[in-house]
Structure 1
């Protein structure tokens, strides 16, 4: 007996060479990369001048918190990519569910970050504890700000999605959001490597 094939809607054909999202968002992403490149230059200049401080610094901070935040960022990026794929396939409800999962996971990042900061302060690690921690707060708090913007963008896209503003053929807002969040995710992976892993 032949089994009935399950119907899976196909995503509409995308034009070759098309950039996902919008040009405005990519200008913003470029500015974000330039901004953090300058911050990373500050990190390397400080590391060059204070090698001992940067060698001992990671021993005091809460590495587990950094690892948890990394898992949260990567997981939310994956869920957001699934939302985009589902939208392209025309499965709107599935796209909305993936987006909600991305929001819930992403919200874990600032919550964990504030808990980490509280842990740091309880252990005497504030911005005056040394050059390593000054740079650490400078980069991680700036990244937290960008992540909160991204979470706000997710909530806005969810509202737009709930009003059927997007379709399989036109969902630039969702793609722009995903592009921004993936960029913010990449920056966090660099921050995690520099502060929590390298010694």
Structure 2
């Protein structure tokens, strides 16, 4: 995979990336997680000791691995979009495949993290912290799985010649959704693994 060349990656000015439908979906996703984050702060305000102790029990290493996988996958998908915009279809497909492979690392790392948590007594019934933690992270995983299915769909269309330098809005819409899911994970990571 070759990195996109400077000067060929700028999006046309004055247009919204992706399409209106994806932005409605992203706004709904943000509203949903905003409500969940309010629940997090209310629970944390009422049970500060439980949240402090619960965060200490999580594997920061696995949380960091998930974060790196998400950010790297988003970078690959952004490169894929920029390369398609520049008319470099083969390179765009290669970067999208890289983004997919990294994205598939997310559920794998999450399963390993859940197994680690369960082995250390952190299950959904271990108290308010673990209840909020699992509710937020499982909701995020659902959105990430939808994103992975979206990557597969866009990759199939890309391989079939569905995108060109003049029409790549589907690829761009995927990138927008995946970046939104990435941003939400960064907030979750901060709440549970950093702000202890």
Q: TM-score, normalised by structure 2?
A: 0.94
- Tell me how many residue pairs correspond in the alignment: 192
Out of 153, 165, 190, the position equivalent to 2:187 is: 190
Q: Deviations over 1:135-162 (max 9, x none)?
A: 0000001001100100100000000001
Does the CA-based 8 Å contact 2:58-2:117 persist in structure 1?
yes
Equivalent in 141, 144, 160 of residue 141 of structure 2: 144
Q: TM-score, normalised by structure 1?
A: 0.93
Query: In the TM superposition, what are the counterparts of 1:34-49 in structure 2 within 5 Å?
Result: 34-49=31-46
1:170 aligns with 2:167: yes
Q: Is the 8 A contact 1:25 1:180 kept in 2?
A: yes
Larger Rg: 1
Q: Tell me, yes or no, if the aligned pair for 1:12 and 1:168 is still in contact at 8 Å.
A: no
| Distance (whole Å) between structure 2 residues aligned to residue 76 and residue 180 of structure 1 | 12
Shift, 1:25, TM fit? 0.4
| Structure 2: 5+ residue stretches without partners | none
RMSD (Å) for aligned C-alpha atoms: 1.5
1:125 counterpart residue number: 122
The C-alpha deviation readout for 1:165-186, integer Å capped at 9, x for no partner, is 1000001100000000000000
Alpha carbons 1:150, 1:177 under 8 Å: kept: yes
Unaligned runs of 5+ in 1: 1-7
